[in-house]
Amino acid sequence: MLIVHTKEDARRWAQDQLAAGRTSGLVPTMGALHEGHYSLVRRSRERCDVTVATIFVNPTQFAPHEDLSRYPRTVEEDLQGLRACGADAVFVPAADSMYLPGHSTYVDPPEVAAPLEGICRPGHFRGVATVVLKLMHILPTTHAFFGQKDFQQAAVIRTMVRELDLAVEIDVAPIVRDPDGLAMSSRNRYLSAEERSRALALSRALDEASRIVAGGEKDGTAIEAAMRRVLTEAAVDEIEYATVADPVTLAGLRRIAGPVVALIAARVGSTRLIDNRVLADH
Ligand code: AMP
């Protein structure tokens, strides 16, 4: 597995793949890798000739009140894991090389970035869209892989790629969960055993939403109330949102009449967790 640290070496690798007529998959990550990330690498390997992962804790996607320095960094283990699952190359830029001093150019993200995470994490998607666009230019691949875990992020990137005419195919992979249902996240390592058991309420609340929608419930408010009940009974510390939305626009739905996604953001202890499920797709 080739490990590159500079933008020039990364671009050269990606351009060589294109020149050789190979399809290539980009898997952007912030490191602290787990099976969710590795599933993206495997998916890319199934669909593309070669796969490159990136590890970069992107400072511009952290809102001012969020602690960038607290984000877990486990690069040596990450490289071992990427090697084990067959990545061909990894781009690990030095922290200060992605944004030059005085950097001032940002992507103004699309409308779909406005609700939910856009409200809770001001500026987050501006940073995400900017770094993903930069990575796509540094590593011009034919495909790029993202997880449904970050449902709104995937919608933002799909829209950006379409609206800015980027020549990359976006693939969104299913959420990988621990056997108890908890969606895998780099942040789960911060949960104590007690917090972890309360955190299971997120996937249980989505189970409940799924169950009542399958039973014919069409009222968005009733579905939201059912999810909040599960979260409150489990004593999560704060519900930022627990809502049902249109899977394309992420606009809230008062009445279900077609595809719908349930999305939750909640705090357990000081850890912020997100999860989601597509409930009906007809
Ligand atoms: P992150 O390192 O958290 O920025 O995530 C990098 C990529 O991995 C994003 O596209 C995430 O959506 C994806 N990802 C993170 N957790 C999971 C998971 N549990 N299942 C599937 N994909 C995931």
Percentage, residues of the chain above pLDDT 70: 99
Q: Is there an atom of ligand 1 within 6 Å of 170 CB?
A: no
Q: Read off the pLDDT of residues 45-60 as tens digits, 9 standing for 90 and up.
A: 999 999 999 999 999 9
Q: Is there an atom of ligand 1 within 6 Å of 175 CB?
A: yes
Instruction: Look at ligand 1, atom 6, and give the residue with the nearest C-alpha.
Output: 29
What does residue 240 show for φ and ψ, rounded to 5 degrees? -80, -45
Is the pLDDT reported for residue 204 higher than 90?
yes
150 Cα: distance to centroid of ligand 1 (angstroms):
7
Residue 94 half-sphere exposure toward CB, CA atoms < 13 A: 6
Q: Is there an atom of ligand 1 within 6 Å of 30 CB?
A: yes
Q: Is there an atom of ligand 1 within 6 Å of 176 CB?
A: yes
Catalytic residue (one of 37, 65, 143, 282): 37
Q: Read off the pLDDT of residues 216-275 as tens digits, 9 standing for 90 and up.
A: 999 999 999 999 999 999 999 999 999 999 999 999 999 999 999 999 999 999 999 999
Q: What is the pLDDT of residue 280?
A: 76
Token digits of residue 39: 């599933």
Token digits of residue 104: 């001032």
Is the pLDDT reported for residue 282 higher than 80?
no
State which ligand 1 atom lies nearest to the alpha carbon of 176.
20
Is the pLDDT reported for residue 281 higher than 50?
no
Which pairs count as long-range contacts for 158-166, CB under 8 Å and 24+ apart, including other chains? 159/110, 159/111, 159/112, 160/107, 160/109, 160/110, 160/129, 160/132, 160/133, 163/110, 164/133, 166/133, 166/136
Active site residue 143: no
Is the pLDDT reported for residue 65 higher than 90?
no
Cβ neighbours for 68, distance < 8 A, ≥ 6 positions apart: 57, 59, 62
Percentage, residues of the chain above pLDDT 90: 97
Q: Is there an atom of ligand 1 within 6 Å of 33 CB?
A: no
172 Cα: distance to centroid of ligand 1 (angstroms):
10
